[in-house]
Structure 1
């Protein structure tokens, strides 16, 4: 069974989706790929109620600045490639960013696969909890966030990555022929 719950956040209404004991979706209202026609579930099975309660509580703590990582169990539904990308997103620590090219290299792919990685990042069904907002364009541009660029900017600022704290730096691990920049805190 799949259960749904809407919650309020500082960035607008969010839709949570659970299947069994696992959180399977977190979507901002109006987000690209947002499920349509969804109403809050009633008489939830205990496992789904617990997953939704935990996700709502952890998101509330995150937005209040009291949590930087999430412990609610998640389950991905997507292609094997998408799942690899979404798992790699979870390794980007709060307060840090990566470019799409860096994420591709992390997965053992050449930087030329950055677009494919970006496509998978954009389909991330677990916004905020699986931190796709921490992935930036090659020059540090705030691109490709299904929840909207302004939400991405606010999430990064919440994590201490604000315009006043950003500076372009070249990553040491990159190939000398590919100049990629990422915004990192001072």
Structure 2
């Protein structure tokens, strides 16, 4: 009996120190990633706002310069022609590059948010397992304290679905 109690207390100490440290680390990573996602989201929104303000002005300049380049305006020069080509290249080429870049940034933010949800649910699952092992140790040693917490069944099912979807995409 004494050996069992010593073994249970050894498990209890090991679990509390060895698993709670990594669990706390995961939780800290989640907090850091939430801040990173919020910052990245704000930067993407600012970039989109800036682009949406600049693109109409460039398109207007491009049209005027294009008309001058075609000889509608007076005094078209070679430097005007070069300017037209630069503006057209910016409006046509660079805008599509910028647009695809912003789309990629949006996709990255969404992927990070999904990863964050999965990491969050994984840490909750790990916490549940740690608490279950600790409860078993307390049951065996006769020192069990009943603690009840409320949880959302819908949220738990959504977490399982998210993990399964992530596994399916990863494969």
Question: Does 1 or 2 have the higher relative contact order (CA < 8 Å, sep 6+)?
Answer: 2
Q: What TM-score does the superposition give when structure 2 sets the normalisation length?
A: 0.20
The structure where strand makes up a greater share of residues is 1
The structure where helix makes up a greater share of residues is 2
Structure showing greater Rg: 2
